[in-house]
Amino acid sequence: MSAAPRAIIQVYSLVLSLFLVAAVDESAVAAHESSSQTWCKAEEEAALLDFRRSFASQPGEVFDSWILSRTCCAWRGIQCSSAKDDDDSRRFTALSDGYRVRVLSLPGLKLAGEIPPSIARLRALEAVDLSANQISGSIPAQLVSLAHLKLLDLSANNLSGALPPAFRQGFPAIVRLNLSDNLLEGPIPPMLSSASIESLDLSYNFFAGALPSPMICAPFLNVSNNELSGPVLATLAHCPSIQSINAAANMLNRSLAAAPEVDFFASPAARSIKLLDLSTNAIPGGIPAVIGRLAALEELFLGYNSLGGEIPSSISNISALRILSLRNNDLGGEMAALDFSRLPNLTELDLSYNRISGNIPSGISQCRHLTALTLGKNELRGDIPSSLGALRKLETLSLSGNELGGGIPAELQECEALVMLVLSKNSFTEPLPDRNVTGFRNLQLLAIGNAGLSGSIPAWIGNCSKLQVLDLSWNRLVGDIPRWIGALDHLFYLDLSNNSFTGSIPPDILGIRCLIEDEDASSSAADDLRPVANTLFVKHRSNSSALQYNQVSAFPPSIILASNNLSGVIPLEFGKLRKLVSLDLSNNRLVGSIPACLANASDLESLDLSSNGLSGSIPPSLVKLTFLAAFNVSFNRLSGAIPSGNQFASFSNSSYIANSRLCGAPLSNQCPAAAMEASSSSSRGGGGDQRGPMNRGAIMGITISISLGLTALFAAMLMLSFSRARAGHRQDIAGRNFKEMSVAQMMDLTVTMFGQRYRRITVGDLIKATNNFDATNIIGCGGFGLVFKANLPDGNVVAIKRLTSEDGGPQMEKEFDAELSTLGNITHPNLVSLEGYCRLGMRDRLLVYSYMENGSLDYWLHERSDGGSRLTWRHRLAILRETARGLEYLHRGCNPHIVHRDIKSSNILLDGDLRAHVADFGLARLMLPSDTHVTTELVGTLGYIPPEYAQSSEASLRGDVYSFGVLVLEVLSRRRPVDACRRGGIRDLVPWVEGMQATGRGIEIVDPLLLQNYSEVDALEEMLRVLDVACYCVDSCPQRRPGIEEVVAWLDAVGSSRLKVGLGKP
């Protein structure tokens, strides 16, 4: 469902809810103040206590006030009619026979259990709100007997099964019924209409079949995101006051132009409907001409269906229409069929991805309120009408993927609000306008790639001071690259590839401030930049697939000048662009050497200098580019040794071919010893020796034998060690041959401990300290093994993790031990210290860690009964700050930098003072050793894994930042990143948050316990600021995510005026 109709329904629902609560609460204050004189009936009290017993496992504070020494009217979430109500509402009292409980409201408290049928004994109930909990089971049929019920909100729970047959009776007084976001299934039963019903929301369930006929007449109906089929409109034709029908994302497959659906357009409902959303279904056939009878219609969404034929001209009769979206269908005909002069209120028109032909009608300029005109991927031809310049409110103009010709009219500059102009993949025959162009001051994206442009780049583009993305690729542009490009402070994506530019690369263009420093540090005009969202495709090479970007901020900071006729040397100024992610200078005529200062462009992930005339050696300093994932210098004249270490160990020989004088791995021609030594000494410090691959298969069996106790487990470990020792007669680094050792000798092996805190500890001590690794001592289970609590003989308490890895030979064993020694020397207040380790044979290790008394953050957030209330906002903010500092030390304080790869709440451990410590760092490198930070092994936990890992499995520091962002959202909302019990078997936290943010409902993301305990404005503002920080971290584009050091600064600034939240970064 699109944002616009969803927003309308949500706003309406919010207003309606507030109205109902206000109506029900009108006497609540008086009732509360006089609660000592307002007593509920014994039957009501008994029903409420039965309700409490159904949720007996809940945190005590939820029901702390539900005690018999107080009237139930004073219990949390309960509101009653007061003595004043008795005087002023005799009719109510007579109808309810003295029952006083009017409201039961316990939303967002993580209640888990089933709703008892006894709730129906609260016969005076007017409002029930149990939304946003974890309530399961079926909906009690007895609810329909509540004759005064106006509001029933059970949304966002785990309710399942079919709606009770008793629902056929209907709710006589109901105003709002919300059962959305559950696991309900089966058919929707026919429900008797209520004259008072205003809103019915059954969305995001598994309801199947057709809507019942007749359907209950709710003015606002939402049945989207189910599995409904059959007719929809026909079942609502009898509803004279219906205003909104949202049936998007179902399985509807009935033609709108045939009976019975077509009958709707001649019904009483056709005169009142304002919003109709049938998008994302499988509706065939055409759009009926009678659709023009929907005189009150304001928003029409029919996109993502199988509609064919032509757009009916009768749509022009709907003068109230504001939004028309017909995208992604098979519609043909011409736009001229629509009389835009009769659509004066139109603000958004999306006809993209169809087969519409003909010219763009000039009459569209009469839609003076138009803000978005999207006509891409059609068969439009002719010129772009110059009259479009009259659309002064137009912000988005997308005409790409058509057959438009002629020139681009200079009159478009009069669209003073224009932010995005996309005209790519057309056949323009004239150069870009150059004279008397002074507009486009608000333009942030200009894309006219593969459009047949000729001539040079016009100077007026240099006046587009807010420009962020400039794509003029795949044209016939000539001349020099303009120097004024460097003055575009906000430009971060420049693609001039596949043209005929000549001359040298002007150093001036490398002064782009946005690529040198953070955007928020640049000019104050950054405050005027606004998010630009639209689906955009970028294709750099004819033999590659197009990359899709859904918003401007997703573009990676890039300079792409490939496939031109550029000459001269590579300017040294490229080294200043520390924010640059991708640099492509391939297929030019560049000469000279590769500047060593390119290593200062620290964010580079892709560097392509292939097919030029470059000479000299590859600078060893480039090994410092720890994010570098793609590197190509093939087809040049380079010589000398290829640098080794860090990312360079992962590049194949295709990166270096056709350089006959290059030597060293991965090429077959070896270097002379002197050249290798020079390269090695220059590269040293960027990373250790490259280790071979390690099989992950053995990891999966770590937990199998633990429950058998020490004797069987340890015997098996020894037997495995002995058998492997016999096979290879291998020795450990101390020279002991496991084949020749007895069990007693094995038990007496010394555990390597770091620091002076511990006396000599043996393997036998660890066995005894864990009571033979008894299951009662298990305190954690991570991706690499079980964790046991151990009480050492000297009184120290530690945690022991057992790892099992593949036998990699003596050399790998040395490297494994060296890696552990490195990890043991990493100390930071917010990291779980590795205290020691020992090896048992060639596969098994026991790692000794500091013990954290309060367990994991996951336990406090999701398992401990009082964890949500005990973790106050101050605690949670401190935990996030401490976690960020620990991660920052791994990313920036360690050499080489450590990518954690598995940041999650169960890897954040809390000590006795609830201080946070990051655990399991470095284990991914131990179990899947690779000297580089780029790996093909996907490590992580579902819900925390960055989206880019699914495409390339390249673990990176920015991947850790994404996982940390998910953790922040988890701490704020107290929702798991993935809830397997939700609809469809899975429900992701990040998309939910993005949807709530997009509709202005960010405050609803926050854990209700935090909102309940912190009503102060300052605390609420802090939560929203932290929410903004999280959203930057989970940006789908890794290049747009902040570094962890920025996150630390932002979190430290929360609560002060130093943190700026808005359209820019904090």
**Which tens digit of pLDDT belongs to each residue from 186-199?**
998 887 656 788 99
pLDDT digits (tens, 9 = 90+) for 540-582: 555 444 454 445 666 788 999 999 999 999 999 999 998 898 9
Residue 278, pLDDT above cutoff 90: yes
- How much is the pLDDT for 876? 93
356 to each of 292, 987, 1066, how far by Cα in Å?
20, 37, 43
The answer to whether 115 and 48 are in contact (CB under 8 A) is: no
Q: Is the dihedral of CA 454, 456, 462, 467 positive or negative?
A: positive
Q: Give which of 322, 378, 320, 333 is closest to 352, Cα–Cα.
A: 378
Residue 822, pLDDT above cutoff 80: no
> Cβ neighbours of residue 1057 under 8 Å, at least 6 residues apart?
none
pLDDT digits (tens, 9 = 90+) for 323-382: 999 999 999 999 999 999 999 999 999 999 999 999 999 999 999 999 999 999 999 999
Q: Give which of 835, 644, 831 is closest to 756, Cα–Cα.
A: 835
Q: Give which of 693, 732, 730, 687 is closest to 822, Cα–Cα.
A: 687
- How much is the pLDDT for 400? 93
Question: Region 202-209: what's the mean pLDDT?
Answer: 91
- How much is the pLDDT for 40? 80
The mean pLDDT of the chain is: 79
Question: Region 416-436: what's the mean pLDDT?
Answer: 91
Confidence bin at 980 (pLDDT 50/70/90): very low
Higher pLDDT, 110 or 222: 222
- How much is the pLDDT for 84? 53
Higher pLDDT, 607 or 920: 607
Residue 741, pLDDT above cutoff 50: yes
Confidence bin at 224 (pLDDT 50/70/90): very high
Instruction: Please give the model's pTM, rounded to 2 decimal places.
Output: 0.64
For the chain, give the percent of residues with pLDDT over 70.
76
CA dist 377 and 42 (Å) reads 69
Task: Show binding-site residues for ATP.
Answer: 801
261-264: Cβ within 8 A, 24+ apart: 261/231, 261/232, 261/233, 261/234, 262/288, 262/290, 263/234, 263/237, 264/233, 264/234, 264/236, 264/237
- How much is the pLDDT for 843? 58
pLDDT digits (tens, 9 = 90+) for 387-396: 999 999 999 9
Residue type, 141: A
CA dist 883 and 879 (Å) reads 6
Confidence bin at 1064 (pLDDT 50/70/90): very low
Confidence bin at 293 (pLDDT 50/70/90): very high
The answer to whether 992 and 1004 are in contact (CB under 8 A) is: no
- How much is the pLDDT for 420? 93
Question: Region 390-412: what's the mean pLDDT?
Answer: 94
Confidence bin at 635 (pLDDT 50/70/90): very high
- How much is the pLDDT for 190? 82
- How much is the pLDDT for 242? 92
Question: Region 750-773: what's the mean pLDDT?
Answer: 78
Q: Which two tokens stand for residue 84?
A: 């004043």
Confidence bin at 272 (pLDDT 50/70/90): very high
Sorted by where each starts, the structural domains of the chain and their CATH numbers stand as: 1-170+180-187+204-210 (3.80.10.10), 485-498+505-683 (3.80.10.10), 697-850 (3.30.200.20), 857-1053 (1.10.510.10)
Residue 89, pLDDT above cutoff 70: no
- How much is the pLDDT for 669? 84
655 to each of 367, 629, 640, 1045, how far by Cα in Å?
54, 12, 15, 32
Residue 759, pLDDT above cutoff 60: yes
For the chain, give the percent of residues with pLDDT over 90.
44
CA dist 445 and 491 (Å) reads 9
Residue 986, pLDDT above cutoff 60: no
The answer to whether 426 and 399 are in contact (CB under 8 A) is: yes
Question: Region 244-251: what's the mean pLDDT?
Answer: 93
Question: Region 605-632: what's the mean pLDDT?
Answer: 91
Lowest mean pLDDT among 312-326, 665-679, 897-911, 1030-1044: 665-679
Residue 119, pLDDT above cutoff 60: yes
Residue 4, pLDDT above cutoff 60: no
CA 40 from centre of chain: 47
Residues labelled catalytic: 902
Bond before 666 cis per omega within 30 degrees: yes
Higher pLDDT, 649 or 13: 649
Question: Region 629-635: what's the mean pLDDT?
Answer: 90
- How much is the pLDDT for 172? 85
